[in-house]
Amino acid sequence: EGNSSRLLYQEYSDVALNKAIQSQKRVDSLAEDFELSSPSSPRLRRKVLSSQDSYLQRLSVSSNASLWQDIPMIRGSRMLLNMSRDDQKLQEAKFELIMSEASYLRSLNVAVDHFQRSSELQALLTNQERKWLFSRLQEVRDVSASFLFELEEKFEENMFNFNVCDVALRHAPAFRKVYLPYVTNQTYQEQIFQKLVTRNAKFQQVLEKLESATVCQRLSLKSFLILPFQRITRLKLLLQNILKRTPPESDEEVQATQAYDALEKLIKDCNENVQRMKSTEELIYLRQKIDFECKIFPLVSQSRRLVKCGELMTLDYNTLSPKWKVTTRPIYLHLFNDCLLLSRPREGGRFVVFDHAAFSDVRGEKCEMKLHGANKNLFRLFLLKNNQGKRVEFLFRTETHSEKLRWISALAPPRGEPDLLENPGETAQALQAWVGGLA
């Protein structure tokens, strides 16, 4: 429950992606001059390697062309007129990927050269803070520069029929190498950024000065830091658009499919890594708030995640009392994907764990019988084997019927596994006898 709200990484909607693209375009025109003036710019390094700039590089300075057909050498050409409408759309989709990568790289240059390499900012950060705040941003920039270099070469070879999916496929391992750790580090990046902004007045002053520079176009450092986060999702969508327009059963379709699948897997792994880190942080935080009065349980594990938690009322009855007296007491449940903790809540958000069991030994079951008064919305919890190897049963009450159903669903065994409850009829008979005694 609540997993979606805890996910730090998610696939952006088309609307959000378009906003991100527009934000990137805002810095493009002015970032161009900044990029050319930076001695560490990958684009400048390419000028050293090549005696002649690529056509796209000259185009980005001398023309406002945003579409493939807007390029002067292509607009109105005989080859363009001889191409089918579908082929034109395919080339436009490929060109969009190249131009968006160029835009992305120019923004990365601002992030690295203007922010990360700022001497004023560097002086205020420890080595660990620099590592967490900027992560592998330099490596992300280098991979983008290499990717764009090959894309431009492909375009220069044949502007009317160029391929980009084979280049994306070759760079897929490099994408994975830099984007997976960068996105995974988002948790620490956000935490350290918030800490610096709220606790370091000097950092805030320097940051405001840097962000006010013309090259930033009123975009914040945080906007630049999240660019890689957005780019891999955008790149997957661009490849998907190309794939839809690629002729079936062609070599290019195979390459487009493989490149798309690689990006999709990368995004999935990023999601899982971020969720795993978030879950581990929750466990570390929880471990500081709990004490064990039963057998100590090693709580922190990278494979463990919190599924559901909450305080419930358990109903106890005294069979020795002539009137079968019912008492209630609060018990807090922490249900993980592999175990369940039962605790007594204490002041200050602390817990004392008195019992725990493996998830495979936990079962929840509806209780159809209704009691008078506030004792409604009941369900039974079975620990087939608790921390002492004993079978234990609880009768819980929830505030609402829907909450009862959510707990029963969360406690249900995975599909395909048999229900291991032993003699459920005996339990039902015993509960029926208890209800009869209360009447």
Query: CATH number, domain at 279?
Result: 1.20.900.10
pLDDT attached to residue 368: 66
- Whole-structure pTM value: 0.67
Could you tell me if 420 and 313 lie in one domain? yes
Could you tell me if 212 and 351 lie in one domain? no
Counted domains in the chain? 2
Could you tell me if 277 and 332 lie in one domain? no
pLDDT attached to residue 375: 62
Q: Which residue range forms the structural domain that includes residue 296?
A: 291-438
Mean pLDDT of the chain: 79
pLDDT attached to residue 91: 92
Residue 295 pLDDT greater than 70, yes or no: yes
Could you tell me if 203 and 272 lie in one domain? yes
Task: Name residue, tokens 């005696």.
Answer: 51
Could you tell me if 324 and 279 lie in one domain? no
Could you tell me the pLDDT band of residue 318, with boundaries at 50, 70 and 90? low
Where a domain ends, among 286, 303, 318? Answer: 286
Mean pLDDT to the nearest integer, 314-325: 61
Cα–Cα distance measured from residue 192 to residue 287, given in angstroms and rounded to the nearest whole number: 22
Could you tell me if 209 and 72 lie in one domain? yes
Output the CA torsion 360→362→368→370 (10° steps).
Answer: -170
Could you tell me if 430 and 355 lie in one domain? yes
pLDDT attached to residue 157: 87
Cα–Cα distance measured from residue 363 to residue 1, given in angstroms and rounded to the nearest whole number: 18
Could you tell me the pLDDT band of residue 231, with boundaries at 50, 70 and 90? very high
pLDDT attached to residue 367: 77
Least confident interval from 123-137, 332-346, 411-425: 411-425
Evaluate the CA torsion angle 74, 75, 78, 84 in order and state its sign: positive
Q: Terminal CA-to-CA distance of the chain, rounded, Å?
A: 37
Mean pLDDT to the nearest integer, 99-110: 93
Q: Is 48 exposed, middle or buried (0-12, 13-18, 19+ CB in 10 A)?
A: exposed
Share of the chain above pLDDT 90, in %: 39
Could you tell me the pLDDT band of residue 121, with boundaries at 50, 70 and 90? very high
Helix (H, G, I), strand (E, B) or coil at 269: helix
- Comparing 72 with 213, the larger pLDDT belongs to 213
Helix axes 227-245, 85-109, angle to 10 degrees: 170
Output the CA torsion 154→159→161→162 (10° steps).
Answer: 20
Could you tell me if 139 and 80 lie in one domain? yes
Residues forming beta bridges with residue 327, ordered by sequence position:
316
Cα–Cα distance measured from residue 299 to residue 286, given in angstroms and rounded to the nearest whole number: 9
Could you tell me the pLDDT band of residue 373, with boundaries at 50, 70 and 90? low
Residue 233 pLDDT greater than 70, yes or no: yes
Where a domain ends, among 286, 314, 349? Answer: 286
Could you tell me if 211 and 319 lie in one domain? no
